[in-house]
Amino acid sequence: MSHPDFINHTVDALNISASSENKIHDDSIAKRFGFQGGLVPGVEVYAYMTNPIVQFFGYQWLEIGSMECKFIKPVYDGDQTDIKASKNRNTEILIEVTTPTNFCARGIANLDKAEKKIQLTPDEKIIPSPNFNSRPKASPASLNKGKLLGTFQQLMIDKDQHQYLQDIRESLSLYRDEKIIHPGWVLRMANKALSTNVKLGPWIHVGSKIQNYNVAHCGDTLSAQTSISDSYEHKGHLFVEMDVKIVNSIKCFTHIIHTAIYRPRPVNSND
């Protein structure tokens, strides 16, 4: 089957995390950091970006595809968000995300043969997470390079899947028809791996590298096995980079390198 060289996907963005613990998604708090309002989470912007990728590559991308995405400027609740995808070559797609006021994100998605990829073997050891109410504060000490975080686990049920697909305005039917867990939900697990291990103030997801290995379905219990691959300061922001493997007891579904500003600099700081 032939495909067009360009696909456009338009979404009226929805900030589904406005009431979450991360107050960067709250209008009043986000404005203190110089934003117009609460940020639509990067994981949802990524979810929007996967729509044209799956249109190009189909089920195979969910099984063996990869993507690198970088979030540059905010998407705000209600923004008309345009996702433009274009073929760079047969196995590579370039994606750009814009709103009427911002160039928001860019990404590169690939479809490579599985034999070219290192197959990951999941570690069955479950590391207990700290008590949620007594989590350590996010800091260079609690997020030091090489640290293993507690294992975040989640069961995706049909009700949650249905609501999530509505919230991200997903138009592709295969997620409903085949009960495939949406890749946006999988990437959300990397956020949860961080927030269930340390207590955070307002924080910002700035980019991810994603490699798919298998397709997860509703009814699967997934675990996020996470280690800190880097932790550093840049221009007054404190960054963390996490190595996250989404697994069950027998296989790895997705490998994620997840980067976030866990402590933004105050808005009145100098660059």
User: In this structure, is residue 99 part of a structural domain?
Assistant: yes
User: In this structure, is residue 269 part of a structural domain?
Assistant: no
**Span 210-257, pLDDT tens digits:** 999 999 999 999 999 999 999 999 999 999 999 999 998 888 999 999
Confidence of residue 124 (pLDDT cuts 50, 70, 90): low
Global model pTM greater than 0.85: yes
* CATH code for the domain of 62: 3.10.129.10
How many domains are there within the chain?
1
User: At CB < 8 A and 24+ separation, what contacts does 132-137 make?
Assistant: 132/196, 135/196, 135/197, 135/198, 135/199, 136/198, 136/199, 137/198, 137/199
For residue 80, how many C-alpha atoms fall within 13 Å in the half-sphere facing its CB?
A: 2
Range of the domain at 157: 6-113+128-263
Confidence of residue 89 (pLDDT cuts 50, 70, 90): confident
**Span 162-220, pLDDT tens digits:** 999 999 999 999 999 999 999 999 999 999 999 999 999 999 999 999 999 999 999 99
Q: In this structure, what token pair is assigned to residue 13?
A: 């963005």
Per-residue model confidence (pLDDT) at position 250: 85
Main-chain phi, psi angles of 111, to 5 degrees: -125, 100
Residue 271 has pLDDT above 50, yes or no: no
**Span 31-85, pLDDT tens digits:** 888 889 999 999 999 999 999 999 999 999 999 999 999 999 999 999 999 999 9
210 and 120 Cβ atoms separated by less than 8 Å: no
User: In this structure, is residue 268 part of a structural domain?
Assistant: no
Residues 140 and 135: their CA atoms lie apart, in Å, by 14
Per-residue model confidence (pLDDT) at position 9: 96
User: In this structure, is residue 123 part of a structural domain?
Assistant: no
164 and 218 Cβ atoms separated by less than 8 Å: no
User: In this structure, is residue 118 part of a structural domain?
Assistant: no
Question: Any idea what the Cα angle at residue 54 is, between residues 53 and 55, rounded to 5°?
Answer: 90
164 and 185 Cβ atoms separated by less than 8 Å: yes
Handedness of CA 68, 207, 215, 80 (dihedral sign): negative
Confidence of residue 22 (pLDDT cuts 50, 70, 90): confident
